[in-house]
Each structure stands twice: as structure tokens, then as C-alpha cells.
């Protein structure tokens, strides 16, 4: 039956393809064809694709699929299809014909078992064989929950792939995981069935016309933007999505995800990347765009708890209790509002704040990305004269307006006192310069304002890009994992943070206003008494535990508070040392544990005497210093490049000599030891920072190591049980000559070794860290609650 219909549409249709042979047949399979997303957006997007491409030379069939049996599923699907509409500018006759064709080319399938998928593939192949058509490719759109992805992927890979020569495109809807670990797991599972180029992860915000036009706008206006798109001219960048609706009816989803996972980690981050990424020479190159986005994401400073302010509308908790049948005393810690401060260490954006904000139950529905420029002008005219023209004293900004709000349409706005932008006339039109409509406190007449010639739904844009194979409008695995790596530490550090309750809507007034304070953000107004968090202490209310561990002082707190205390103690030690002898010799360990500490020192400790500080390494992997495994490179990225430390006060370990790595005859360890003796009084560091491995190793001194646990205070080459195996390290006797040794231990993964160390004596052959005992100095342990208590 479908074959005869396809034949009719192809050869008797009112809209024949251009001269030349068919470019092949495309089968589109929509999984979850009767679900909410399919009903609201996807079928309409597929119909738009058909309308746009009916004369392209490709033929199409559309296969709706779900778990429901044939008859009820078919009835539900065609109820949706009958309501499809054409754009207002489409001729009624053409619309009627195309809709009739689309319905005839659409078919429902129950896809539940492996046999169902095999039967679908066989049906597609039989149809094409009968009609003598070549297969161009297959699109599988996963409009299903992520827990179903793996099973469906297995079926497609084993029995529903197109033949050789035809492409496969698999479209995946968010959420793509809950945090870095779950995203990695899902990515690994999908990679077992599909190649990277076959996967199209959808973030529908990338289909919004204003968002999609950010890169083309930057490209077409390079002559104006190149001089000013940088830290010298940009005051701040804002990406905002405000909603008036609450989470009622969706609390089962929202309790798992919250506003950061739902909006900031994906939609707002993607829009921000388009704004701050380096512009490729060719913005049409999907590969170049994807790579530049990744580089921009990797340039962002790590987030900490003070980077965000979080809130929850008052009715949310009772909605959760009602919908999820939670107990009366249940208290949700899920944020429904977030404001986050992000910074980049790139040369272009260093020092420029990026503010991402989103929330539910707010005063208006609006979304935008806004670049606000510094105003260097001083204008002598009165306010009245200034307001009457396009004064240089007025704010200068570029706004990509996603929709809704005062304009109620996608738009691009450029302050008239900046420049008149180049805009493609076939797709964007200049809007009327109205003075009665205001945006950000300015009349619309202060802007060059452009809106789309033809508004298109985001899903229609994305489905078109899937058809054309435009990967730059989708999220690659590498970018996805980089985004989760960026956001997961904030999610972890704020999971216990008390939330600011707000009433919702216009009653919020200034309650959610926040400001940049001390490298982070904080609410501007104190929290009213009637909106305080329900009674009961939160974990962050507890003070740092100060006690003893292995007969030495112990400081313990939640990780972020602990790092804050450690950074303050290090600054205090540095100031004392410089006052005493004019310099401060600091030896730092590598690895992941001190990363947050390095960032804290760089951002918040502006009084640290870096000009009088010498930085040494406790240990180093035997790799080039530019290698991602290098301890020095990590130290450089997170600390050294952000502070004013004299170049000649930086002392990387000489692991790379004579184009060789850690060859004993090259004498790298001896060279470092001689430098220490020459520059550090009595070879006694003022402060040594150490970590602890799960096996009890410290620095690069491992259990049963042949070198460094005993003997002379020197520098040694050692062997690690994990790659890269070769290491260079300060010896235990040299560490023990230090005036102070701080040991930092973080995370649940260190709980077992922490418990063990609390019970054993000094046995450095078994547990090298147990041999740390400064001969005439002080040892202090900094252990977070998770490592200490499990």
C-alpha cells in the first residue's frame, strides 16, 4: 500500500523535483511518536521538513513508532497528524496537497521487540526495491526517556541499519545524564552502537533563530566587532531565561534535575559558547565550530559554591509532597532559581564576568543573551539633550533576544551608538523604531532592531539541520562531557546549600537580585524572616572541626570551606615568612585534589605576597611540561598564569633534558637538588603541600619504593604503579626538613585510607605518608568530612 502511495507522490505529485535523477530515499523513524514532545513539536517539524524538501530530489517516508499496539497507536498518531498546519504564507491549495501527501507517507509501527525492528528494516528495504529507489539514509529520532536509549540503540545497530553507502543519523533528546559520571556512562553505552558522526544530541535552544544567528552575526560584522569583542571593551555578558510558570505537574522530573541541570548546563551554556568562542575563519565548517566551542568551554574557570546564588519558590515543596507523595516533613533542596557567575582565563575574556540566570515562577517570560559594553564617554549635555539623540553616554549593547517578553518575537538589537550591523536581508528584516516600547530601560528607537522575515520553530530548524548533516547545531560527546565536567563540581558543592525561598511572580520584587562580591555572587538583600529556610541545621552550618589526627593538628570541614581555610592559612604562612626573611619557598603537589585550592588562591587571595614567593614542585610525572599529565601544566593553568609571580621564581622539575625524559645519566634529579640547596636556606622549605593516594602514597613516593623513603634529603627518580610510571619526587627526608607541611585529603574515595592511617604508626615502607613528620617543623592535616567520616 505504502509503495503505491510513494509511487504516486513521486511521479504524479503536483510538485516535481528539479531535472535529474532522484538523490535517494530517506526513511524517518520517530520513536515516541505519540508522546508530548512529538505531539507539540516533532511532527510539525517533520512536516515542515517535507514541505521544504519535497522538491529537493529526495523521497521520504515517515514511520511513527511507540510501544502501543498497532490500532490504538495508529489512532493516536493520526489524531496528531490531522492537526498539522502550514505557515501563514503557504498557499492554501499547496498546503492541502502537501498535508495529504505527508499523511499518506506516514505509517505507525509498534517497536517493542528485536523482531519489530527487523520487520521495520525489511519493510523499508522491500518498499525501495519495489519502487527501484536507492536508499540515501535513515533518521531515528529518540523522543523517549534516556533509560530506553541503550536497548533501542542495540536493536537499531543489530537489525535496522541502512545498507552500505547510505547514512544513519540518530537524534537524541536531553537529558544526557545527571552529572559527569552518568553522562560518561551513557556516552560509553551509545558509543558501543553508533559512531560519533551518527549521533545528533539535540539542544533545542540551538534551533532558536536568535541563538542560531549569533555566529553568523559575528562573522558578518567582523569589521565592527573585532576591535571591541574583548575584555578591554566588554563590561559583562548575560545569558538569561526567565519563566513565569512553575514546576507543577513536572516535579518528578524537576526533583531529579533542578534548574541548573535543566537549563544552565545545556541551553544557557551553549548560547554563551557562541558568544565567547574564538570565531573560526570559516563559520560554515561544522568541525571548526565544534572545536572552537570546546576550547571556549575548557577556558572557563572552575565553579565553586560562591559562584552561585540559588532559590526555590515557596509552593514548590508542597507541590513535591503532593505529587510525589512525600511525607509532611519532607524538605526539598532542589533549586528552581539560579544565578551563576562564570569567568574565563582566555586572553580575550580575562576579567569579564559572564552571568547565567534562570528560574521558574519569576515576574516575566523572556530569554536573551546580552553583551554590555563599557562606556568610556563623558557627555557634557543635559539628560534631556542626551536622551533626544543617540548619545555616546547611553548604554552600548548587543542583544540576541530569544523571544517572548516585551518584543514577543526573536530579535537582534544593536545600540545605535555602536554601529549599524550587516544583516542578511533574505532572512532578517529591520523592525520599526518605536519609542513607546522599552527594553532594558531604553526606548526601542535607541536600537537597530531586526526580526526574522519568517519565524520558525526551533525544532523545525534543528530537523532541517539533521537532514543537511549540520553537526555544529548539536552537542558532540566531547563537548557534552566537558560541559558536565564544568558544572558537576558546582552541583556537588551546592547540594547541601540552603535555598532562598521566594513567593513567585511580581511579589519577588528585589528578593532575587544578586551582585558580584569578592570573586563570587551574593543576594543583594538580606533574607526576610518569614522566608527563612525551614528550621533544622544544614550541614554547612557546622563549624570546621579542629582536633588531632596522628598526633598532629587536624582541620576538617566540607570541602569548599576546608579549601578556603587552607588557602587562608597558606597566605598567613607566606606573609609571616616574607616578614621574617624576605621570601617564601612553597613546594606544591600535583594531581586533582589541589586544583580547587589553586583556583581559590588565584581568585580570592589578592594579598598573597607572590612577588616574594618561590614556587617549587613536590613531584612531577616524566612527561613534557606541555603534556596534559604534567603536574606543572596543571599548576600553570589553575594558578601560575593568574598571579604576578616573577618568572625566575618558578621552578619546574627538569624531567625533560637532552630530548629525553627522566634518564638517570642526564642528572635531572641532581640538578633540582642543587637548585634547592642553592636557593632555599638549609634546604628547608617554608611550606610543603602534600596529598594522599588511596594506597597511602604521597608526592611520588609509593609503597615499597626503592628510592626516597630513607637516606639523604634529596630529589629522586621513582616508579609509579600506574601510568605514566616514571616520576621525579622530593624524598621523604627532604620533605621532613620543611618548616610546615600541610596534607590535603578530599573525598569519599579517601575515607578508607584515612581510617587506616588513623590506626597505624610510622611505617613509610607500607604507607609513605605515615613517614611525614617534620623534624623541626609543624604538620597539619586538612581532611574534609567525606574523607574523614565517609
Active site residues: 267
Pick the closest to residue 371 from 220, 524, 214 (CA basis): 214
Direct distance between the N- and C-terminal alpha carbons of the chain, in angstroms, rounded to an integer: 64
Cβ 339 vs Cβ 269: under 8 Å:
no
Cβ 513 vs Cβ 523: under 8 Å:
yes
Cβ neighbours around 699 below 10 Å, total: 30
Cross-strand pairs, 614: 585
Neighbouring C-alpha atoms within 13 Å toward the C-beta of 427: 13
Cα dist from 669 to 200, 442, 622, 718, whole Å: 50, 65, 11, 10
Cis peptide before 724 (omega within 30 of 0): yes
Separation between Cα atoms, residue 412 and residue 368, nearest integer Å: 10
Contacts of 23 (CB under 8 A, 6+ apart): 56, 57, 58, 136
Tell me the three cell numbers of residue 33.
511518536
Separation between Cα atoms, residue 68 and residue 31, nearest integer Å: 11
For Cα atoms 58, 59, 65, give the angle at the middle one, nearest 5 degrees.
Answer: 125
Tell me the three cell numbers of residue 625.
611540561
Burial class for 771, CB neighbours closer than 10 Å (0-12, 13-18, 19+): buried
Separation between Cα atoms, residue 273 and residue 266, nearest integer Å: 11
Tell me the three cell numbers of residue 581.
626573611
Pick the closest to residue 463 from 124, 62, 68, 92 (CA basis): 62
Separation between Cα atoms, residue 352 and residue 233, nearest integer Å: 10
What is the bridge-based pairing of β-strands 106-110 and 234-242? Answer: unpaired
DSSP classification of residue 544: P
Cα dist from 65 to 117, 142, 738, whole Å: 10, 10, 69
Tell me the three cell numbers of residue 629.
599529565
DSSP three-state, residue 257: helix
Q: What is the 3-state secondary structure (H, E, C) of 356-403?
A: EEEECCCCCCEEEEEEEECCCCCCCCCHHHHHHCCCCCCCEEEEEEEE
Q: What is 56-74 written as a DSSP string? A: SSEEEEEEEEESS-HHHHH
Looking at the chain, the number of H-run helices and the number of E-run strands are 25, 33
For Cα atoms 767, 773, 779, give the angle at the middle one, nearest 5 degrees.
Answer: 110
Cβ 142 vs Cβ 172: under 8 Å:
yes
Instruction: Report CA dihedral (490, 570, 703, 548) to the nearest 10 degrees.
Output: -90
Phi and psi for 349 in degrees, rounded to 5? -115, 5
Pick the closest to residue 550 from 771, 359, 277, 285 (CA basis): 771
Phi and psi for 675 in degrees, rounded to 5? -60, -40
Sheet arrangement for strand 308-313:
428-430, 447-452, 411-415, 396-404, 366-373, 234-242, 354-359, 337-342, 308-313, 500-502
Pick the closest to residue 587 from 668, 669, 691 (CA basis): 691
Amino acid at each position: 500500500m505504502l509503495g503505491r502511495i510513494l509511487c504516486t507522490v513521486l511521479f504524479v505529485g503536483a510538485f516535481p523535483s528539479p531535472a535529474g535523477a532522484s538523490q535517494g530515499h530517506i526513511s524517518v523513524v520517530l520513536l515516541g511518536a505519540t508522546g508530548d514532545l512529538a505531539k507539540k513539536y516533532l511532527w510539525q517539524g517533520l512536516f515542515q521538513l517535507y514541505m521544504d524538501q519535497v522538491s529537493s530530489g529526495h523521497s521520504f517516508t515517515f514511520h511513527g513508532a511507540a510501544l502501543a499496539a498497532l490500532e490504538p497507536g495508529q489512532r493516536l498518531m493520526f489524531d496528531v497528524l490531522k492537526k498539522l498546519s502550514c505557515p501563514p504564507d503557504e498557499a492554501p491549495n499547496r498546503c492541502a496537497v502537501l498535508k495529504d501527501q505527508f499523511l499518506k507517507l506516514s505509517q505507525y509501527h509498534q517497536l517493542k521487540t528485536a523482531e519489530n525492528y527487523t520487520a521495520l528494516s525489511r519493510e523499508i528495504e522491500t518498499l525501495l526495491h519495489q519502487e527501484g529507489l536507492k536508499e540515501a539514509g535513515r533518521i531515528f529520532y529518540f523522543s523517549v526517556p534516556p533509560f530506553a536509549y541503550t536497548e533501542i540503540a542495540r536493536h537499531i545497530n543489530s537489525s535496522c541499519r541502512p545498507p552500505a553507502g547510505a547514512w544513519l543519523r540518530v537524534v537524541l533528546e536531553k537529558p544526557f545524564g545527571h552529572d559527569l559520571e552518568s553522562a560518561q556512562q551513557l556516552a560509553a553505552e551509545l558509543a558501543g552502537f553508533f559512531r560519533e558522526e551518527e549521533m545528533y544530541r539535540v539542544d533545542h535552544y540551538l534551533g532558536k533563530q536568535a541563538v542560531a544567528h549569533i555566529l553568523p552575526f559575528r562573522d558578518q560584522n567582523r569589521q565592527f566587532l573585532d576591535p571591541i569583542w574583548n575584555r578591554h571593551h566588554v563590561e559583562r555578558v548575560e545569558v538569561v531565561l526567565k519563566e513565569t510558570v512553575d514546576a507543577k505537574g513536572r516535579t518528578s522530573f524537576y526533583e531529579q534535575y533542578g534548574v541548573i541541570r535543566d537549563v544552565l548546563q545545556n541551553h544557557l551554556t551553549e548560547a554563551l559558547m557562541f558568544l565567547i568562542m574564538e570565531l573560526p575563519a570559516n563559520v560554515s565548517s561544522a568541525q571548526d565550530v565544534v572545536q572552537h566551542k570546546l576550547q571556549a568551554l575548557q577556558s572557563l574557570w572552575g565553579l565553586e559554591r560562591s559562584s552561585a546564588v540559588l532559590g526555590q519558590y515557596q509552593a514548590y515543596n508542597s507541590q513535591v509532597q503532593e505529587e510525589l507523595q512525600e511525607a509532611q516533613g519532607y524538605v526539598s533542596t532542589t533549586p528552581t532559581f539560579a544565578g551563576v557567575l562564570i569567568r574565563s582565563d582566555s586572553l580575550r575574556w580575562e576579567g569579564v564576568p559572564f552571568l547565567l540566570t534562570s528560574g521558574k515562577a519569576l515576574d516575566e517570560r523572556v530569554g536573551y543573551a546580552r553583551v554590555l559594553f563599557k562606556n568610556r564617554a563623558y557627555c557634557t549635555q543635559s539628560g534631556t539633550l542626551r536622551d533626544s539623540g543617540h548619545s555616546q553616554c547611553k548604554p552600548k549593547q548587543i542583544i540576541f533576544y530569544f523571544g517572548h517578553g516585551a518584543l514577543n518575537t526573536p530579535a537582534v538589537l544593536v545600540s545605535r551608538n555602536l554601529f549599524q550591523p550587516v544583516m542578511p536581508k533574505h532572512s532578517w528584516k529591520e523592525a520599526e523604531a518605536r519609542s513607546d516600547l522599552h527594553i532594558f530601560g531604553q526606548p526601542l528607537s535607541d536600537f537597530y532592531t531586526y526580526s526574522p522575515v519568517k519565524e520558525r520553530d526551533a525544532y523545525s530548524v534543528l530537523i532541517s539541520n539533521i537532514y543537511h548533516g549540520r553537526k555544529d547545531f548539536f552537542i558532540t560527546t566531547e563537548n557534552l562531557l566537558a560541559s558536565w565536567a564544568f558544572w558537576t563540581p558546582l552541583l556537588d558543592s551546592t547540594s547541601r546549600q540552603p535555598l532562598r525561598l521566594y513567593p513567585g511572580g511580581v511579589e519577588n520584587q528585589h528578593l532575587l537580585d544578586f551582585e558580584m562580591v569578592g570573586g563570587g555572587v551574593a543576594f543583594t538583600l538580606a533574607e526576610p524572616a518569614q522566608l527563612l529556610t525551614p528550621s533544622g541545621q544544614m550541614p554547612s552550618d557546622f563549624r570546621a572541626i579542629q582536633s588531632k589526627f596522628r598526633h598532629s593538628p587536624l582541620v576538617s570541614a566540607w570541602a569548599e570551606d576546608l579549601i578556603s581555610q587552607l588557602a587562608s592559612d597558606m597566605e598567613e604562612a607566606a606573609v609571616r615568612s616574607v616578614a621574617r626573611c624576605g621570601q617564601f619557598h612553597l613546594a606544591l603537589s600535583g594531581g586533582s585534589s589541589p586544583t580547587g585550592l589553586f583556583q581559590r588562591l588565584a581568585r580570592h587571595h589578592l594579598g598573597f605576597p607572590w612577588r616574594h614567593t618561590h614556587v617549587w614542585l613536590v613531584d612531577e610525572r616524566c612527561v613534557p611540561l606541555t603534556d596534559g599529565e604534567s603536574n606543572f601544566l596543571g599548576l600553570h593553568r589553575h594558578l601560575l598564569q593568574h598571579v604576578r609571580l616573577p618568572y625566575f621564581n618558578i621552578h619546574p622539575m627538569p624531567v625533560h633534558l637532552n630530548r629525553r625524559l627522566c634518564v638517570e645519566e642526564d642528572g635531572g634529579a641532581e640538578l633540582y637538588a642543587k637548585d634547592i640547596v642553592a636557593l632555599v636556606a638549609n634546604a628547608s622549605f617554608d611550606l610543603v603541600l602534600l596529598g594522599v593516594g588511596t594506597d597511602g602514597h604521597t608526592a611520588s613516593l609509593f609503597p615499597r619504593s626503592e628510592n626516597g623513603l630513607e637516606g639523604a634529603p634529596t630529589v629522586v627518580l621513582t616508579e609509579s604503579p600506574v601510568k605514566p610510571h616514571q616520576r621525579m619526587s622530593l624524598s621523604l627526608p627532604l620533605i621532613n626538613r620543611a618548616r610546615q607541611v600541610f596534607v590535603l585529603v578530599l573525598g569519599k574515595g579517601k575515607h578508607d585510607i584515612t581510617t587506616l592511617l588513623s590506626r597505624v604508626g610510622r611505617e613509610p615502607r607500607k604507607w609513605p605518608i605515615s613517614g611525614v613528620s617534620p623534624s623541626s617543623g609543624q604538620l597539619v592535616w586538612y581532611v574534609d568530612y567525606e574523607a574523614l567520616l565517609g
